[in-house]
């Protein structure tokens, strides 16, 4: 790797390939003139070599250590990255389009909440024991997507069955009146059932 005819500081013994004016100068002047170009060229080469090394460090797949193949691998890597970026942004765009509805639902929910407040409707949960484990419910909650379904599911899961149910939506609120019956024979207090319901509603 080391140039045999040159000392580390750049002073060369070799005559060089000069065939032009440089050769015609006096010996001392010639050496100084050449030396300046020499050092600059060395700096340039080293800089380029360093950049190439940095590039090689950045590319994960390296088939060969050659200069040309390093650049080639970098090229394929850049193409791969560009493709990745394109695919990902396409996918993301698709995702965002499909989640637009979700955002719409969220804004609807906010609108509903505002309308409720504006009309002075307040959320309310009332539970009255009718007979044994049979309760009459009155629920006023903010309108959300699928809130009624979720409520029914949760109550079913807890062992309650809806019998006579009435649902109305108005002014951003859902008004539910229903009779529910505990089907597992357990008996609940009205207050207990009310807390259960409020917990469920909080989760909706």
Residues forming the site for DNA (CB under 7 A): 1-4, 6, 10, 12, 14, 16-23, 34-38, 40-42, 44-46, 48-49, 65-68
C-alpha dist (Å) from residue 154 to 134, 136, 139, 180, 190: 17, 17, 15, 12, 17
Let me know: does 158 contact 196? Beta carbons within 8 Å.
yes
* Cα 67 to Cα 69: distance, rounded to the nearest angstrom: 6
DSSP 12: B
Cβ closest to DNA, residue 67 vs residue 118: 67
> Minimal distance in Å, beta carbon 189 to a second copy?
26
Q: Which residues have CB under 8 Å from 183's CB, separation 6+?
A: 159, 160, 161
Q: How buried is 5 (Cβ within 10 angstroms: 0-12 exposed, 13-18 middle, 19+ buried)? A: exposed
> Minimal distance in Å, beta carbon 76 to a second copy?
10
Part in contact with a second copy (CB under 8 A); list of ranges 26-34, 123-131, 147-155, 195-203: 147-155
103 binds, among a second copy, DNA, none (CB under 5 to 8 A by kind): none
Cβ closest to a second copy, residue 94 vs residue 192: 94
C-alpha dist (Å) from residue 36 to 2, 16, 49, 149: 20, 15, 20, 85
Residues in touch with a second copy (CB under 8 A): 4-5, 13-17, 19-20, 44, 47-48, 51-52, 54-55, 58-59, 67-68, 71-72, 74-75, 77-79, 81-82, 84-85, 88-89, 91-92, 95-96, 98-99, 102, 143, 145-149, 152-153, 156, 162, 164-169, 174
């Amino acid at each position: 790797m080391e140039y045999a005819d040159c000392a580390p500081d750049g002073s060369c013994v070799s005559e060089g390939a000069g065939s032009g004016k440089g050769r015609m100068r006096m010996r001392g002047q010639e050496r100084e003139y050449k030396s300046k170009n020499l050092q600059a060229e060395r700096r340039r080469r080293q800089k380029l070599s360093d950049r190439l090394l940095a590039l090689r460090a950045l590319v994960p797949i390296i088939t060969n250590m050659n200069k040309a193949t390093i650049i080639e691998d970098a090229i394929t890597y850049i193409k791969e990255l560009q493709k990745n970026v394109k695919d990902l942004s396409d996918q993301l765009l698709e995702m965002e389009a499909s989640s637009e509805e979700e955002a719409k639902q969220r804004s609807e929910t906010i609108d509903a909440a505002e309308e409720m407040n504006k009309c002075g409707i307040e959320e309310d949960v009332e539970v009255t024991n009718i007979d044994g484990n049979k309760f009459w419910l009155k629920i006023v909650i903010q309108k959300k997507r699928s809130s009624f379904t979720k409520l029914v599911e949760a109550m079913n899961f807890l062992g309650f069955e809806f019998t006579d149910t009435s649902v109305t939506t108005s002014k951003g609120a859902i008004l539910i009146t229903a009779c529910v019956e505990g089907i597992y024979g357990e008996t609940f207090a009205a207050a207990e059932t009310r807390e259960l319901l409020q917990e469920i509603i909080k989760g909706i």
